Structure 1
Amino acid sequence: MTDGRNPATRRSLSRRRALGVVGAAGVGALAGCLGGGGDTVGSLPDRGDQQVIADVESFPNEGNQHVQRGTGVDYGTRPPTSGPHYSGTVSAGFYEEPQPMGDVVHTLEHGAVVAYYDPEAITEDARSNLRTWARSFTGTWRSFLAMPYPYDDPETPYTLTAWRHLLRLAEYDEAAVRAFCAEYLGRGPENPVR
């Protein structure tokens, strides 16, 4: 049975369909590598590399009470890892400006990892990689955001934070970001999802 098209047209359509299937398979494979649905950068192990995690500083819980927006809060760590916070959160993303710390701390309570960077020291590779992490982890209970340090004179060019945990990096290290996320992402106290 023929469709009324000449043989050359049928061959051309057949090739385009085959390329479409290969292209769709390639996109599917890429999505699989990225965790599909924009939810991961590769698959995260259940726990982080213990050599990296050994360098993580852990701090006492400074509380999780909500305070009125605009209330000044003196956090015990810099950047903060817990404490009183506003009722809002910060969406996953790569930010060029610091976000309100009261919202950032609430985002940590939701299971986020926040990566701080020194805008004068960030490399293009680090910027690109942090953007990929921020696009890949966007869920309410396991998001990733990157933003400039909100303070003058950061101790290191990069710092990773999660609820009660902090890792300072003298240089950008994607393997350390992966280990930190594997250990803490989605494990905030409000609604742990991992």
Structure 2
Amino acid sequence: METPYTTYKKSEFIETDTGNKVSRRSLISGSQNIVLGGKTIVHSKCTIRGDLRRAGPTHQAAVLIGRFCSLGPLSVLRPPYKTYKGVFSYYPLKIGDHVDIGENSVIEAASIGSYVVIGKNCVVGRFAIIKDCCLIEDGAVIAPNTVVPPFSVVAGGPPAKVVSQLPESTQEVFEARSKDKYAKFVPE
């Protein structure tokens, strides 16, 4: 399936030295605690909460995002949190390479592997782990602490369930798709 060209107003996006394209209309809190790997698109009204992180002497990024990712409009990425022995703490949110997060999805996972497509209107609960090469269907609600095995197709919910498996060629297909999507995201 051919990826269509998507145009944007050059004045609405900031392009970094590493090729990230970040909408000026996105809400990025605590940018010093967010790491974008390069060639990532952050669409308008996407919220990334880097201000929510574990306090302490060891500085660790709150949100780590790999290369060739696409963070859809109105999506929310925030680190997971828990209270342990009476202490409330946030933990890092790690996202691999070639990850596509759909419009209006909320992500509070501990980690999302590489070559993952998350559809529109999805919820990924706190401390969920999505392994490499997964497809999360539109509207799926993944319960907190769920581990999604590699090459899984997940749908439904709450809680979402594995409904089928993806072929071994998934990595190449998702990688080509994410690179194509980035290449065809061009200024007007």
TMscore range, shorter length: under 0.3
TM-score, structure 2 as length reference = 0.27
Which of the pair has the greater relative contact order for Cα pairs under 8 Å at 6+ separation?
A: 1
Q: Which has the higher strand share?
A: 2
Q: Which has the higher helix share?
A: 1
Larger radius of gyration: 1
